[in-house]
Amino acid sequence: SCCMQEEIFGPVTCVVAFDTEEEVIERANGVKYGLAATVWSSDVGRVHRVARRLQSGLVWTNCWLIRDLNLPFGGMKASGIGREGTKDSYEFFTEVKTITIK
């Protein structure tokens, strides 16, 4: 469905049953976007395994839209270039110029 293939900015949830972690990771990574993902599980080991393999710049666990402004923010694939947030914003929002004077 398009709600699982497009980058929709809004309160939209797609719920689809799956049988294995491998299947859900393949589905999640099978899109051209990778801004954010959520993993819902009480199994911390599963959360870490899945989150590491997701091609997403941000992974929330058992929550959504909680963001610490001191942490880097940005997507992967067609969802952005680089990271922003605290020290990461310097490079993201500036251009370095070298001027030499003799």
Query: If 0-12 CB within 10 Å is exposed, 13-18 middle and 19+ buried, where does residue 29 land?
Result: middle
Q: What angle separates helix 21-29 from helix 44-53, to the nearest 10 degrees?
A: 30
The answer to the question of residue 99 being in a domain is no
* CATH number of the structural domain spanning residue 27: 3.40.309.10
- What is the pTM for the complete model shown? 0.78
In single-letter form, the type of residue at position 76 comes to M
| 3-state DSSP assignment of residue 81 | coil
Tally of domains in the chain? 1
Which domain, by its residues, includes 84?
A: 2-93
The answer to the question of residue 100 being in a domain is no
Condensed to tens digits (0 to 9), the pLDDT of residues 25-83 reads: 999 999 999 999 999 999 999 999 999 999 999 999 999 888 888 888 889 999 987 77
- The rounded distance, in Å, linking the Cα atoms of 38 and 58 is 8
Condensed to tens digits (0 to 9), the pLDDT of residues 23-41 reads: 999 999 999 999 999 999 9
